[in-house]
Amino acid sequence: MRSELMQMLESRKEEMIEIRRYLHENPELSFKEEKTAKYIADFYKGKDVEVETNVGNGYGIIVTITGGKPGKTIGLRADFDALPITEEADVPFKSKNEGVMHACGHDAHTAYLLVLADCLIQLKAELNGTIKIIHQHAEEVPPGGAKSIVESGKLDDLDAIFGIHILPMDPAGIVGYRSGYAFNGRSFFKLKIQGTGGHGSSPHKANDSIVAGAHFVTVVQTIISRRLNPMDAGVVTIGSFDGKGTFNVIKDSVELEGDIRYMSTESQQVIEKEFKRIVKGLEVEFGVTCTLEYTADYPPLYNDPEHTELVAESLKNANDKDIKAVREYPALSPSEDFAYYLEKIPGSYFFIGCTPKGVEQPYFNHHPKFDIDEDAILVAAKAVGHVVCGYFEKN
């Protein structure tokens, strides 16, 4: 089956590219992917599979491919939302939706998985198990789509789950993997510091919220430098400090917003505890009133070591001309809601190089000039195909 699957994928490389370009021209934002979801669902019309639409808190789609022989059930996931970015990439298939762009490669993710799924459908008589294809909406915007799909219960029967992300860290043909914690978790905060306004000449008759806010910006960084284990990773970023007023007026309140990242649930707990302690201390020290909104968006992504080893071995032993090397990657600082699947289901999320040919310093995901080597789409399809075959061969 493996050899036949790879031949089928190779013969449909141009189709994958065409699908990717269509999706690239017609991007839709998270939770608004109605036309994209219809395009995906229409792809499966007339095929011998079960298709469920509107799964979770949006336009999620689950396609169930039941094999001809009994066995385990695995999931394969690709996301399909785009970003609120005005495209600057010089390509003939630029976004037709002003201010919206597939700047993270989800168009390529969807293209590879559609064709791979169709090939697996044609070969399903040879499958000793079941495959659930998960086309996920809204990865980019918390609370995301993954959590709600997991909570729907429609994946409760999965024994394993796999997914990929294209990244311009290597050229097409290079596949990366990471065992254990691989992506940061992420939290969001919004803090309002309420003081008492007054005349700039009379600070003793006021309570300056800007001074309290400035102190907070500095002291909150001690969470990372003095409270977090130095062997762990963490970031507290103050992304917004809204304290604009008039030069001779003491501001009565300020609002701060920020982004918090961590590479383990233990670090997440330490940072949140210390953050809230500092906010309480601010009230005591400066006599202000603080209103804090603190939301844990996505958990750290943890790749199960056993399933990650299966990924690495399946690809290293593939002897595939399109997969030129398989490398261990470092942990990465972005966040990814695939982490919600991996909290409940053992599996692995791995990486496909996509640096455009001849480019030494590529634009990374989320940049308005982000572009890929479209050879990476076939590499993604074959890599996941090899993992599927390797899993069922072992199970």
Residues that are catalytic: 81, 139
Instruction: State both tokens at 314.
Output: 């399946």
DSSP secondary structure of 275-334? HHHHHHHHHHHH--EEEEEEEEEEPPEEE-HHHHHHHHHHHHT---TT--EEEEPPPBSS
Instruction: State both tokens at 2.
Output: 């493996």
Binding-site positions for Mn(2+) read: 104, 106, 140, 165, 366
Distance set, CA 64 to CA 75, 117, 134, 227, 257 (Å)? 9, 10, 9, 47, 42
> Pairing mode, if any, of strands 325-328 and 347-355?
unpaired
Residue with tokens 């470092």: 330
How far is Cα 87 from Cα 276, in angstroms, rounded to an integer?
39
Cβ–Cβ < 8 Å for 123, 4: yes
Burial 256-292 (b: 16+ CB within 10 A, else e): bebbbbbbbeebbebbbebbeebbeebeeebebebee
Residue with tokens 């599996």: 347
How far is Cα 54 from Cα 138, in angstroms, rounded to an integer?
12
Burial class (CB in 10 A: 0-12, 13-18, 19+), 153: exposed
